[in-house]
Amino acid sequence: MLGEAKNKLLTRVGPGEPMGNLLRRYWMPIAAEADYQDQKVTPIRLMGEDLVLYRDGKGNLGLVDRQCPHRRADLSYGYTEDCGLRCNYHGWLFDKDGACLEQPYEDVAAPERKFREKVKIKAYPLERKAGLIWAYMGPMPAPLLPDWEPFNWPNGFKQIVFTTLPCNWFQCQENSIDPVHFEWMHANWAKRLRGEDGRAPRHLKVAFDEFEHGLVYKRIREDTDETNPLWTVGRTALWPNAFFLGDHFEWRVPIDDENTLSVTWAFFRVPTEAEPFEQDTIPAWEAPLIDETTGRWITSHVMNQDFVAWVGQGTIADRAQERLGTSDAGIIKMRKLFFDDLEKIDRGEDPKGIIRDPAENQSIKLPVAERDLLLRGAPRAALATHPIWAKHMQDFPFCAGQPETVRDAFRAAIGEVSEDA
């Protein structure tokens, strides 16, 4: 268990909150490039701050305060210009760095005041990588946006999935260091949902190792031993708010204390027969949460099952009431590392995993169980009988609701023709 004060410390993400300060030191994926191909203005809430994300006529992306500094109009109703975003109330124009480029009436009536130069809007830096738009909301100088190895793998069909979850980010992230739930929440529950009897192999042993970019969990089940990748490679709780499983990343980006944006980036290596494969745009889609026929959560796909657990823990899980067992050693370790990080920040140091040296930021390797297959590829026949990849060829396994357009693009990439094509 964790007392109320410590629970608050871990879960509060607003400006000025210790954990809010910590998370602001890392780049966060907030949107997909595919959704910002043209000029666009959208409201977005991140870590308790109301902001506007836009793309202007020159292709600049901007992330600025939602309220205009003049008289607080809502800039999500502003309009983009060739350069910047213009408030629809009195026409003040701001660029992506927060500078005020025009104040149409002031510029004409009182140019000598140079009022424009005295006004700035809050603006955060953005970068594009792996089809995602990333924001940095922390103190300068900003660290480097990590260049994770999978972002550079060739011949992959990639897709991005967003889901907005009505719960705090930290209970989502604790799931990244929770091996035993696979047996129950996924394997056994999926069996029951399919009307099947029987049990998945039990977990016999779990272990949690720290490394530079997070924690790795390892496990041994009844049907595996210490030579299995479940033990030799494991899975990664990637610092500070992601889960990495070899073929996909899941980020839990705080919208505010009570809502989280789940961002999934998934990679599927196309069969060697379909190479070379280049993907011009990484498609992005929003996964639904509710089953419209029952009004209950969707439970058919792996991450939907996780969402049921996270949201079910309460808007902000009350950790004063929990009873941790030995399976939760990783959870305890993760919390401790965050408390250590908060102390590091107080001492003026960088928290865990911050990258500032460009020489280090070259296709950073993470634990990957199927590295050979992902790097070299495999023929269609081998994928079609592979215990994991065969299922991926049939259906996107992580979230329900993949749009037909994305499904068709995937089929075309792996060399299958869609039924209605």
Residues within window 10-49 making contact with Fe ion, judged by CB under 5 A: none
Q: Other CB atoms closer than 10 Å to residue 29's CB: what's the count?
A: 24
Residue 68 binding ligand FES, by CB under 6 A: yes
Q: Fill in the per-residue mask, 269 to 298: x = in contact with Fe ion (CB under 5 A), - = not in contact.
A: ------------------------------
Residue 172 binding ligand FES, by CB under 6 A: no
Residue showing tokens 């215990």: 387
End-to-end CA distance of the chain: 55
Q: What is the torsion angle, in degrees rounded to the nearest 10, for the CA atoms of residue 233, residue 236, residue 238 and residue 241?
A: 170
Residue 92 binding ligand FES, by CB under 6 A: yes
Distance CA 245, CA 266 (A): 10
Distance CA 21, CA 343 (A): 12
Residue 89 binding ligand FES, by CB under 6 A: yes
Amino acid identity, residue 229?
P
Residue 77 binding ligand FES, by CB under 6 A: no
CB of 68 to ligand FES, least distance (A): 3
Question: Which residues contact residue 285 at a Cβ distance below 8 angstroms, ignoring those fewer than 6 apart?
Answer: 159, 160, 161, 162, 401, 402, 403, 406
Residue 61 binding ligand FES, by CB under 6 A: no
CB nearer to Fe ion: pick between 46 and 177: 177
Q: Fill in the per-residue mask, 54 to 83: x = in contact with Fe ion (CB under 5 A), - = not in contact.
A: ------------------------------
CB of 78 to ligand FES, least distance (A): 8
CB nearer to ligand FES: pick between 73 and 207: 73
Residue 178 binding Fe ion, by CB under 5 A: no
Residue 73 binding ligand FES, by CB under 6 A: yes
Query: Helix-strand-coil percent breakdown of the chain, rounded to 5?
Result: 30, 25, 45
Exactly one of 65, 256, 257, 306 binds Fe ion (CB under 5 A); that residue is: 306
Residue 71 binding ligand FES, by CB under 6 A: yes
Dihedral sign for Cα 14, 15, 16, 19, please.
positive
DSSP helix/strand/coil, 85: strand
Choose from Fe ion, ligand FES, none: what does 306 bind? Cβ within 5-8 Å by kind: Fe ion
Choose from Fe ion, ligand FES, none: what does 364 bind? Cβ within 5-8 Å by kind: none
Question: Which residues contact residue 397 at a Cβ distance below 8 angstroms, ignoring those fewer than 6 apart?
Answer: 301, 302, 391
CB of 91 to ligand FES, least distance (A): 6
Site residues, ligand FES (CB under 6 A): 68, 70-71, 73, 87, 89-92
